[in-house]
Amino acid sequence: MATAVVTGAGQGIGRAISRRLAADGYDVVAVDRDGDAVRETAEMVTGDWRRCDVADPASVAALAESLDRVDVLVNNAGIWIFADLAGTSSDDVRRVLEVNVMGVFHCTQALAPLMGPGSCIVNLSSNASFSNSPGIGIYPPSKAAVESLTKQTALELGSRGIRVNAVGPGMIQTEGTQANYEGDRGAQRARAVPLGRTGWPEDIADVVGFLASDDARYVTGQVLYVDGGLSAGRAAL
């Protein structure tokens, strides 16, 4: 059975991706810093799990050593520390970049040797990579770096038959973002989306499932925004 490794799988989008890939027939290895949460995900999908901090090269190396093969790698683990740049500490910048950018680098570097022709990597970006907003600080630059890293990796691994793409979620309701949709804020945000609603983790998971499938066999080096049309722009209401 083909093996899919999903980082940040303890909740939200990562858990939904794990469920989708398991439904598609993959043997899922769910990965997260939170051992209890990722164990729960693994139980949901009848898969395996590993506790791993993607920002720690030694932790990622141990993950790689525990695996025999990888057919799909989903670099989903990510964090955000929202604040104006002027009020963002160097430690906060370092932590976001260590997880969001270096985490993708560490996992790709360590697990790509276990991948063969026909396998693929899907990185999680964000439409914030280009639609910068006040107050979210270093997060947009971190995701812009993920997109550049995606394209560079696609070029370098293409000769080995490994595809590399990214998915850029828009306004997705998860455990971590739910406070942004409470009360009237959810309806206000939905009105800004051309499709008229905010998204759910399953909306992202289904696109990851497509990119991991043979239907996307000639797709690599691309960033697919899954945001209900936000990235296309919208006339004033």
> 139 an active-site residue?
yes
Kindly report, residue by residue over 74-127, the tens digit of the pLDDT: 999 999 898 899 889 999 999 999 999 999 999 999 999 999 999 999 999 999
For residue 236, what pLDDT band results from cuts at 50, 70 and 90? very low
Average pLDDT over residues 215-235: 91
Instruction: Look at 192 and 222; give whichever has higher pLDDT.
Output: 222
Q: Quote the pLDDT of residue 132.
A: 67
DSSP 192-212: TSTTSS-B-HHHHHHHHHHHH
Parse the chain into domains and list their residue ranges: 3-226
Q: Quote the pLDDT of residue 237.
A: 43
Measure the CA–CA gap between 225 and 227, rounded to whole angstroms: 6
Q: Quote the pLDDT of residue 133.
A: 74
pTM for the full predicted model: 0.95
CB-based contact 73:121 (threshold 8 Å): yes
Kindly report, residue by residue over 55-78, the tens digit of the pLDDT: 999 999 999 999 999 999 999 999
104 CB neighbour count, 10 Å cutoff:
28
CA separation, residue 153 to residues 26, 45, 142, 195 (Å): 23, 29, 16, 32
CA separation, residue 192 to residues 207, 213, 230 (Å): 22, 31, 8
SS3 call for 115? coil
Looking at every residue in the chain, the average pLDDT score rounds to: 94
pLDDT(131) > 90: no
pLDDT(235) > 50: no
Options 3.50.30.50, 3.60.21.10, 3.40.50.720, 3.30.420.10; CATH of 3-226: 3.40.50.720
Q: Quote the pLDDT of residue 136.
A: 81
CA quadruple 8, 13, 17, 20: dihedral sign = positive
SS3 call for 28? strand
Q: Percentage of the chain surpassing pLDDT 90?
A: 81
Could you say which of 26, 139, 181, 225 is catalytic? Answer: 139
